[in-house]
Amino acid sequence: MCLAIPGCLVAISGQGELRIGRVDFGGVSRDTSLVFVPEATVGDHVLVHVGFAIAVIDEDLARETLEALAMLDALAEPAPIADALAASVDAAPRNNHGQPRRIFGREDLEEGR
């Protein structure tokens, strides 16, 4: 399943195909390529999929999408999605030094990476 998450474009750097936007996802910000949305400006809401803004959307659609995602997270059993991901990291195979092989870390989950 593919999933695009809405966020608010708070800053833009670069020019042309090298434009990068800083997108806020409810308090967590990430750099995002704007190559597919050259019309995007600061303050716009965009849908982001795998690091690329793929569409400019209106604020109402962004809010509705975030509310729907929150409802899905609330239905998660027995724990919210972030807790389940953290548990999978704890159960990860160990390297030669007895440490979990790092695909992503708990701090990545807590910071929304």
Query: E-assigned strands of the chain?
Result: 5-13, 20-25, 28-33, 45-49, 52-57
The whole model's pTM is what?
0.62
pLDDT tens digits along 59-102: 999 989 888 888 887 776 655 556 655 665 555 556 666 665 55
- The amino acid sitting at 105 is G
pLDDT digits (tens, 9 = 90+) for 29-60: 999 999 999 999 999 999 999 999 999 999 99
